[in-house]
Structures are given as C-alpha cells and as structure tokens.
Amino acid sequence: MTTSDDTSPEALGRRHWAEIKAWALYECGDLSTADDVCQEAWMKLRASRTALDPTRNPLAWLRTVVRSTARDLLARESRMRRPAPVERSTTPDLDRVIDLHRGAREALDAFAALSPRQREAVDLVDRQGLTVSEAADRMEVEPGTVRVLVHQARKALRARLLDTELPALVRSR
Amino acid sequence: MSCETVREALSTASIAEIPEILAAHDCADCRALADAIVAQERALHAAVGAWVAQGPPEQRQVPWPWIVLALATAATILLILSTLWAPAGLGGSAESFRPASSPPIPPAPESGQEEPSRTEAPAPSPRSSDVGTTRTPSPSPRPSPRPSPRPRPVPVPVPAPGPR
C-alpha cells in the first residue's frame, strides 16, 4: 500500500512531534538520550512506507514506536557505557536551550532520577497543567495513582533544596 | 504553623499552592526556601518545554532544478568551447578560424617536391671543444634534410699477446 500525505507515519510523527519528544523524555530521563531516541524514532517513521491502519489508534502505535526505540537505545547504551553526554541540538535557538539547561542542571538531574511514570505524571500535571483526572486518562491509570506519582516526584525533585533524604522509591532505582 | 510543618507542605505542594502555604507563616528562611523551589521548578519546566518545542529534523531538500540547470549550462559551455577549439582533422577548419592579421598559409607543395620539415630539429649539444666559444644561433631554422647518421667506427681486432 502506498502512503498518502495525511496517513503516512511521517506525517503522523510531524503532527505529534512534541508528544514524541515528551514520551522519549519520560522513558530516558535525560535530554541527550531522549534526543537520540527522537532521532531514531523519526528515522523509523520515515522509513516506514505503509499507511497507518485507520482502525487502530495512531497515537498508541506512535507511543509504542517511541517506547521500543527508547528501550532498544537504553539497552544498547547500558552494554557499552559511553562517556558523559554532550549537549546537542540542531535548532537555531541552541544558546537559549543551553542556558536553560545550565540553569536547570540540578533539577534536570533530579528529574532524570525519577521513574518513567513519575516523570510523565509530574510533567503532565506540573508543566503541562493538566488536572489529575486528565493526566490519569492520558496515562491510562487511576487518578489516585497519578496523585501518588506526582507526590513522589515533587518530593524527589525538592529533596536537595529541602535537605531531606531522597524517597526510598527513587533511591532504589 | 511551625517551620517543620511548612517545609513538609512545601515538599509536595504544587507551585500554585505555595503562596497559600506561606501566607500564614512569616519566616524568611521558609520564604527563601519556597522561592528556591519555585525557581528550580520553573527552570526545569522551561528547559523541558524549550527542548520539547524543538521541531522535527528538517528534511533536506535537494535543489534538483538548480542542479539540472547548472549541468545544462556547463554542458552548453563545453560544447561551444569544443566547437571553437576543435582541430582541423576533427571537423573544424584551421583556415576558418585563422585571425585576419596572420599571414596566409602557403599552398601545399606539389607531389615530388620535398616538403620542408616543419618540426624544428633539436639544437646540437655543444661538444667539449666548443666550450668557451660563442656560437650565434641562426635567426631562423633552416628547413634542411635530416643529416645522415655518422658512420660508426669499425672495431679494430686487437691481436692476442703472444709469448715473448
């Protein structure tokens, strides 16, 4: 089957690029690895020549692609421990991104130490401003689970400032 | 509300709830702590937001029309140049491209007459006896027949030495 512009995986990826990046970040935790995941997922989408099945949920398929790409990459990286990641970006506002990273370095490190579900929950609720029930719908979990995840994530992110011990859940990762 | 309670509340409250928590508590340390928490989370969200907002990698478009145009132009120029500079034997005529100021080409010699050699004979290398003497080269090369090769000296057989 040949692809048309609207139903091709590439067009889907282009439309939902922000979600792809967020999912990659939830899976990996650090921006550099998530960048690699996005690049690989993008290459997969571009290489895919078949049109999407309209009976299936395209976003769920897209998320599966990103998740499997992230897991492959993380497994590969754990096999060959590479040196500290280098900040990379291909956009013209590179300076701004680097400045933001520098300012948020410790917070990003703490963010990377969270679990993927905690990252997703805290990002949906605190950064994107979703309510707990909306975030629960997105994550396909109960609202109570989201509340717990957000609670744990905030506690972990503020542990250094509050000079408290890291929560056991985060520390055990 | 004690500082301990406020810190406990600050550890899990959302950024929007922090002013409410601090409203009933007048402590500079707790306020500084709350400011640090807000600043850190804003920086985190700004960094993540800026990173997520970067668009997908741009597809590099190959400028095919320009490449075709450049190739066509180059091919045309090469064709014109090859037509202008083609040797006479390959379709071009030396006469037709001869400048008007140059002298006319002499007619081809008739059959039986020896054609003068157009290639200049290499100048003879000076012999050792000529070193130091000045030789004025002839102003124009003379079309001369090729000199006959010098006869090689015949080796003289040397008699074998006999017993004395």
Q: What is the pLDDT of residues A149-161, one digit of tens each?
A: 999 999 988 887 7
- Say yes or no to pLDDT of B5 above 80: yes
- Which residues from chain A sit within 8 angstroms of residue B35, using beta carbons? none
| A147 C-beta neighbours (distance < 10 Å), count | 15
Evaluate if residue A92 carries a pLDDT over 90: no
Q: Which of A96, A127, A162 sits opposite B10 (nearest CB)?
A: A162
Is A21 in Cβ contact with B44 (below 8 Å)?
no
Please tell me whether the interface predicted TM-score (ipTM) of this complex is above 0.85: no
**More confident site: B107 or A24:** A24
Q: Which residues of B touch A (CB under 8 A)?
A: 7, 10-15, 33, 36-37, 40-41, 43-57
pLDDT over 70 (residue B111)? no
**Average pLDDT of the segment spanning B92-120:** 56
Written in H, E and C, the secondary structure of B29-79 is: HHHHHHHHHHHHHHHHHHHHHHHHCCCCCCCCCCCHHHHHHHHHHHHHHHH
Residues of B in contact with A62 (CB under 8 A): none
Chain A residues within an 8 Å CB radius of B49 = 127
Q: Which residues in chain A have Cβ-Cβ distances shorter than 8 Å to B50?
A: 93, 96-97, 100
- pLDDT score, position B62: 72
**Integer CA distances (angstroms), A159 to A102, A111, B11, B52, in order:** 19, 11, 7, 25
Residues on chain A touching B13 (C-beta within 8 angstroms)? 154
Per-residue pLDDT, A2: 44
* Contact between residue A126 and residue A150 where contact means Cβ atoms under 8 Å apart: yes
Measure in Å the smallest separation between the Cα of A126 and chain B Cα atoms. 7
Least confident segment among A21-35, A114-128, B79-93: B79-93
* Cβ-contact A7, A49 below 8 angstroms: no
| CB pair distance less than 8 Å for B12 and A155 | yes
Interior/surface letters A38-71, b for 16+ CB within 10 angstroms, e for the rest: bbbbbeebbebeeebeeeeebeeebbebbbebbe
Whether residues B52 and A106 touch (CB distance < 8 A) is answered with no
Mean pLDDT of chain B: 72
Out of B7, B14, B57, the one facing A90 most closely (by C-beta) is B57
- Check residue A142 and give its pLDDT: 93
**What does the pLDDT read at residue B4?**
84
Eight-class DSSP state of A104: T
Is A172's pLDDT higher than 70?
no
Output the pLDDT for position A53: 73
| Mean pLDDT of chain A, nearest integer | 79
Residue B74's pLDDT is: 95
pLDDT band at A171; cut points 50, 70, 90: very low
Residue A147's pLDDT band (boundaries 50, 70, 90)? very high
Closest A-chain CA to B35:
A161
Q: Nearest chain B Cα to A14, which residue? A: B56
Q: What is the pLDDT of residue A165?
A: 47
Q: Which of A42, A101, A158 lies closest to B47 in CB terms?
A: A101
Q: Cα–Cα–Cα angle for A108, A40, A95, nearest 5°?
A: 45
Per-residue pLDDT tens for B51-69? 888 877 776 667 788 899 9
Cross-chain Cβ contact B37/A97 below 8 Å: no
pLDDT at B37 > cutoff 70: yes
Q: Min CA distance, A38 vs chain B (Å)? A: 9
Write out pLDDT tens, residues B13-22: 888 888 888 8
Residue that wins the pLDDT comparison between B109 and B57: B57
Nearest to A33 by CA among A9, A59, A69: A69
Cβ neighbours of A11 (radius 10 Å): 16
Q: How far is CA A172 from CA A26, A114, A118, A161, A166, in A?
A: 18, 10, 14, 20, 10
Helix, strand, coil shares, percent, chain B, to 5? 45, 0, 55
